[in-house]
A = this chain, B = another copy of it.
Amino acid sequence: MDIVTPFQFALVYNAFSFTFAAMGAATLFFWLSRSQVAPAYRTAVVISGLVTGIATYHYFRIFESWGAAFTLKDGIVTATGFAFNDAYRYVDWLLTVPLLLVELVLVMRLSRAETTTKTLRLGSAAALMIILGYPGEIAGDIPTRVLWGTLSAIPFLYIVWELFSGLGKSIEAQPATTQNLVRKARLLTFASWGFYPIVYMVPYTELSGGTVTTAIQIGYTIADIVSKVGLGILVFLISVRKSEAEAVGPEARAA
């Protein structure tokens, strides 16, 4: 493992601790706020909390693994010989990325048949995307990384197409008050997920050694916060507005 500078070691160390706290706080927020939304949206809010809850666990493990891989003493970083376990990220994504799409589909409240189809399709594509990315992430050489990264991009493009084409009509069927928020949730998913491949491509650049390690860890950490906490908050807001709109619905129609 490439050695990092004391600054890089501390930066990544503190970023992991920050993310553990942020994910844990988001989890408790979603679960405690569950009863603020109508029963039809509670599963979406519970799943938002599952995503950040699973990430809380993995950031705890990542933090511990980073602390076990290096020792910072008397201002000098030394490698302990225990590898930093990067697999925690992929294990996390394998669980959370399909759940993020489930949460997005559930908050739209489509018909039962459509919910099942979209969830299965998008969830499987997401799992495939993560599985294909991993061999490239642990590969020592750039061509192998490029090969698996490119294969992983195929299910990603399918997801983007499904979000913008397949779910486009469903978004038009949403109440006017939430259409804009649903569009934002879709855009946030697309933009934050698009950040991961950029981080994945850091080793293709002129950067080397500890700088690559640091850039990858900080990049993935930022992307994780935006895609998990950010989407969860949007899903919660959509759920609150749709609950309100549907609660006044029957009266408004009667008037």
Contact = CB atoms under 8 A, between A and B. Distances in A.
Interface in A29-54: 29, 31-34, 36, 39, 42-43, 46-47, 49-50, 53-54
Contacts of A85: 10, 13-14
Contacts of A28: 31, 49-50, 53
A10 B28 CA distance: 31
A61 interface: yes
Interface stretch (A75-83, A157-165, A195-203): A75-83
A18 B91 contact: yes
Interface string A59-87: 00100000000001111000011110101
Contacts of A24: 53-54, 57
A81 to B, nearest CB: 4
A214 B58 CA distance: 23
A29 B203 CA distance: 38
Contacts of A221: none
A83 B13 CA distance: 13
Nearest to A50: B25
A88 interface: yes
Count of chain copies: 2
A226 interface: no
A44 to B, nearest CB: 11
Contacts of A132: none
A142 interface: no
By secondary structure, the A interface counts as: helix
A110 interface: no
B87 A54 contact: no
Nearest to A57: B21
Contacts of A75: 83
A180 to B, nearest CB: 12
Given A14-B87, A88-B17, A42 B33 contact: yes
A153 interface: no
16 contacts: A14-B87, A17-B61, A18-B94, A18-B95, A20-B57, A21-B91, A25-B50, A25-B53, A25-B95, A29-B50, A32-B46, A33-B46, A72-B82, A73-B82, A74-B81, A75-B83
